[in-house]
Structure 1
Amino acid sequence: MSILIPLAILGLLSGALAEKAGLLSFEGQGLAVVSPEVVTIAPHAFEYRDATEYFRNGLAIDAPKRQEAVMVPLDVMKYQVTQAEYERCVSDAACVPSEAGATLPNDSIPVTGVSYDDALRYAAWLSHHTGQEWTLPTDFELAYAAADRFPDDALGIDPDDRNPAKRWLADYEREARRAASVDPRPQPKGSFGISQTGLVDFAGNIWEWTSTCNRRVDLDKAKADEDLDPSSCGVMIAAGRHRSPMNSFVRNPKGGGCSVGAPPDNLGFRLVRRPSLLESIANFFRRATAQLLATIIKT
């Protein structure tokens, strides 16, 4: 017990230092950039259906849904990256102008008309200017963060049913539900509600790029395809009201590049913040301290 108290104190000190570091802003190439507002997604269990496309006997089947228990918190941007935020990267010559354009970049309107590659450039720029690591979320992380707002694209057909007509009908009904928005124009922050976890505007009329590569698995093969490295993958998953595989260079989803189904209204993104080593240590001690206190209270 004597060693546990110093460990708990060290955890608290580490946490304080990490929080202080998160408030710092760094200056580079004449620009002062403040870290975006984030929500911390508390560890929780949730059901996740893989973004992979599965096939059996030549027919598409639903990806399996599994129960996942995430044990660590996730810091994710509360809002999608805005026009004004993206324009700062453009002004710094680190990003290229969005295809949607904006004569007066608005800090309340999400940026659209950006590709996966554009999002990566912005993440690298933001990381450089804040001294923190920002990346695109994986599809799994976005599902974890969006919680009740994340879509389930399942057809709901028995995987052993070989009647293609049932799949055609189910697919037709699904695509009908994916009809384009009445007004596809980007809307101000908060126009599309908040998830149970505090994520704002997910599954509105902007689909968000992820770092997950689109994969197809034929279950009749002796060995499934290996996971693809995102750096060598040309088709990535964008998630919103439904998942949409998109070529990484596409900026206007209506102009082509959507592998299947109804295209997204718009393409934008939000980022996740990876914890520093100091923050990881602090989080570890916080969890250890909480578990210790819970054990003491029970006994």
Structure 2
Amino acid sequence: MRPKSVVASGLAGLGLLVLFQGYAFLPGRPGAAEEPPLVRIEAARVEYRSPGEFRSGGTPVNGPLVGIAAERPFEIMQRQVTRGEYQACVAAAACRPLAGPGEPELPLVGVSWLDAADYAAWLSRETGRSYRLPSDREWALAAGSRYRDDVYTEVSDPADPAKRWLASYEAMAADREPLESRPRPVGGFGRNEHGLLDLAGNVWEWTSTCFVRFRSDPETGAVSAHENCGVRIAQGRHRAYMTDFIRDPKAGACSVGVPPANLGLRLVREASGPLGRLRARLGA
């Protein structure tokens, strides 16, 4: 690799740093993890419903559907983290070992939210960049046409709450399609309009967003919200609510709906602080 031009050498308070066009080299980090391919999300817009449970006067209802757009550009991995990439974190004793063998080039499956957070922290240390899980909102914007609203019915009868449950169950049953559990090779589920691979395939992806219970008073209009961060949102063919330590979604802990086939991850690379802003301006 022959860098085209030296951009900066030595930033005050950050130690010796040499930035090359599109690359960063941090002294004292031999063998640092290689950065994955990224996609920059800018002009994205979707019809979005906040995740969680909504009740009005004790009756289950749907949350409001609103149009959202990216408030600022962000960068997200083009593909999911692979098993081989995660195993490098395991080898460094920074991530929990996986259960059983697997092919290193396939998308990673069988990780909890806690595992995903550990991997993001390790990758950030190894690369000198800031990686984190996307929020549910960011995931929806990146998914674009692959994002799917999780509402199954508009039925809401205060006199008979069972009607809503039955309508939801029938809609889920009719919508359920056979889905293989074995991960396909990277790109096996195609790409969306933003160039991201394998969104809404058979690997659901952890987000940073917590489960929230919303309560509204139909008489006063007052709304309260209770956040439970022991349950996180996983996104894929549908939204799933999963306990943060669960690795196998088929083992339970899905609060509503059809459980995911697998749990994996892709990360956002954050541009933060003076160094992050400089890199963002350079397009690095």
The residue number in structure 2 matching 1:290 is none
Structure 2 residue 197 is matched with structure 1 residue 212 = no
Question: Which AA in structure 1 matches 2:130?
Answer: E
The residue number in structure 1 matching 2:256 is 260
Larger fraction in strand:
2
Partner Cα distance (1:207, 1:77) in 2: 14
TM-score normalised by length of structure 1: 0.79
Structure 1: state its 5+ residue gaps.
1-12, 287-299
The residue number in structure 1 matching 2:143 is 146
Give the 3 Å change call, closer, same or farther, for CA 67–78 of structure 1 in structure 2: same
Partner Cα distance (2:20, 2:30) in 1: 23
- Indicate if the aligned counterparts of 1:98 and 1:111 stay in contact, CA closer than 8 A: no
Residue identity over aligned pairs, in percent, reads 43
The residue number in structure 2 matching 1:247 is 243
Q: C-alpha displacement at 1:29, in angstroms? A: 7.3
The residue number in structure 1 matching 2:101 is 102
Give the 3 Å change call, closer, same or farther, for CA 253–285 of structure 1 in structure 2: closer
TM-score normalised by length of structure 2: 0.83
Q: Deviations over 1:156-196 (max 9, x none)?
A: 41657765465234302332155364411111111112111
Structure 2 residue 131 is matched with structure 1 residue 116 = no
Q: C-alpha displacement at 1:205, in angstroms? A: 0.8
Partner Cα distance (2:18, 2:260) in 1: 38
- Indicate if the aligned counterparts of 2:114 and 2:245 stay in contact, CA closer than 8 A: yes
Partner Cα distance (1:45, 1:183) in 2: 30
Larger RCO of the pair (alpha carbons < 8 Å, separation 6+) = 1
Give the 3 Å change call, closer, same or farther, for CA 128–285 of structure 1 in structure 2: closer
- Indicate if the aligned counterparts of 1:26 and 1:33 stay in contact, CA closer than 8 A: no
After the TM superposition, list the runs of 4 or more consecutive aligned residues in structure 1 that deviate by more than 4 angstroms. 25-30, 158-163, 281-286
The residue number in structure 1 matching 2:57 is 57
Larger fraction in helix:
1
Q: In angstroms, what is the RMSD of aligned CA positions?
A: 2.9
Partner Cα distance (2:226, 2:130) in 1: 24
Structure 2 residue 229 is matched with structure 1 residue 233 = yes
- Indicate if the aligned counterparts of 1:238 and 1:245 stay in contact, CA closer than 8 A: yes
For residue 168 of structure 1, the aligned residue among 165, 172, 176 is: 165
Partner Cα distance (2:268, 2:177) in 1: 28
Give the 3 Å change call, closer, same or farther, for CA 112–77 of structure 1 in structure 2: same
Q: Deviations over 1:212-242 (max 9, x none)?
A: 00111121286534463xxx72000111111
Give the 3 Å change call, closer, same or farther, for CA 204–183 of structure 1 in structure 2: same
- Indicate if the aligned counterparts of 1:208 and 1:269 stay in contact, CA closer than 8 A: yes
The residue number in structure 2 matching 1:195 is 192
